[in-house]
Amino acid sequence: MIYVREGVYEENVVIPSCKTNIVLIGDGSDVTFITGNRSVVDGWTTFRSATLAVSGEGFLARDITIENRAGPEKHQAVAFRVSADLAAFYRCTISGYQDTLYVHSFRQFYRECNISGTIDYILGNAAAVFQAYNIISRMPMPGQFTVITSQSRDTLDQYTGISIQSCLILATNELYRNSNNVKSYLGRPWRLYSTAVFLESYIDDFIDPNGWRKWSSDEGLDTLYYGEYNNYGPGSVTDDRVAWPGYHIMDYESAYDFAV
């Protein structure tokens, strides 16, 4: 177990696959910060831009904030990349703009955390479950839109996807004030079999009535799986949602397959 005292730690941390079962505990996500500012604009790849990158199986983090301060003008700038199996996170805050949380691979569980970002700010091809989360979209650059999920499942036989359960889908005050001019979406497909569901969550009215957005073409719209089940709030109305073959208004049985 590693105890991280109250403070601001300006560094980029890598926990390799050979370091397993590490527990990282802070004094609280309001007082313990690991912060960085790497970005694609400054010459880093998306994968290497992470403030904290974890590959060791069995990783657990609690009561800590991980952030990337690069800003929306620096485009892809990961705060947290997780490539670790059986990883879990409790009462953490993950803060950034584009590509905030890279759920890269394997099985991951997030509970009672906060995440903020602009474009594709939960992305990757893990089997990732989020429960009781505050998911907060931020104001992007002029002319941009916001997207929460960008899941990248690329073959039918993978058991991966993003499952968002009993969460709050919110926006910052700045984005709320500009929501008539800035479109916001639940997700868009990074790969052909992109999979993401929103279950029993509150969705505020800044989300566009279409709900979901194409990437750049119609590719994948018949092979992806996007679903919504029993959500509530003014942005949860599905009457004007996309009419893609891969979009589903789910029933209990299909939603159950994505729950833990």
Contacts of 243 (CB under 8 A, 6+ apart): none
* Region 23-28 average pLDDT: 99
132-191 pLDDT, tens per residue? 999 999 999 999 999 999 999 999 999 999 999 999 999 999 999 999 999 999 999 999
| pTM exceeds 0.85, yes or no | yes
Do residues 152 and 51 share a domain? no
Last residue of a domain, one of 54, 82, 113: 113
131-144 pLDDT, tens per residue? 999 999 999 999 99
Is 120 among the catalytic positions?
yes
pLDDT number for residue 161: 99
Is 99 among the catalytic positions?
yes
Which residue among 63, 85, 120, 208 is the active-site one?
120
Q: Give the model's confidence band at 130: pLDDT under 50 very low, under 70 low, under 90 confident, else very high.
A: very high
Rg of the chain on CA atoms, in Å = 17
Do residues 109 and 131 share a domain? no
* Region 87-116 average pLDDT: 99
pLDDT number for residue 251: 98
Do residues 244 and 156 share a domain? yes
Q: Give the model's confidence band at 116: pLDDT under 50 very low, under 70 low, under 90 confident, else very high.
A: very high
Tally the C-alpha atoms within 13 A of residue 217's C-alpha that lie toward its C-beta: 4
Do residues 25 and 87 share a domain? yes
Do residues 191 and 153 share a domain? yes
Q: Report the mean per-residue pLDDT for the chain.
A: 98
* Region 209-219 average pLDDT: 96
State the Cα–Cα distance between residues 128 and 144, nearest whole angstrom: 26
Which residue among 27, 42, 63, 99 is the active-site one?
99
State the Cα–Cα distance between residues 188 and 214, nearest whole angstrom: 6
* Region 225-232 average pLDDT: 99
Q: Residue 72: give its domain's CATH number.
A: 2.160.20.10
